[in-house]
Amino acid sequence: MSDLVQRLSQGSHPIVFGRPGAADRLAELKAAIERKFVLLGFPETRGGTELGVPLDTAACDLGAADFVTGQGRIHLEGELRLDYVPVRLIADVDLATLQGQGQLRVAATERS
């Protein structure tokens, strides 16, 4: 297992959606969720790490989200491969800041 996968699967880490200063990041996030594919960044890795995540819509929770006012929190989950390792991304994002916390969980078959 790579150092990056190991590090991101240990505890929770800061995440961010979009690039600071980009125009209308909230609308971009809403559109990405509707496409069921989001890009989330882990800015505290060496050089930053951006992951493209196909969403598991059954596991996501958008119930507290108000995309018009930019208030509330969303819960996102999805599976992807990072450095050839199947992982599940779990993230909570505050709509006001488009920042939050995220972690990876390595698939059970890869842990052995």
* Domain limits, the chain: 3-111
Q: Hey, what amino acid is at 108? A: A
What's the fold here for domain 3-111? Polyomavirus Enhancer Binding Protein 2; Chain: A; (2.40.250)
Is beta strand 49-54 parallel, antiparallel or unpaired with respect to 73-82?
Answer: unpaired
pTM for this one? 0.91
- Taking the chain (112 residues) in runs of 10, the rounded mean pLDDT of each run is 92 90 86 97 92 97 95 97 96 96 87 52
pLDDT reported for residue 46: 87
Closest among 94, 45, 84, 19 to 76, alpha carbons compared: 94
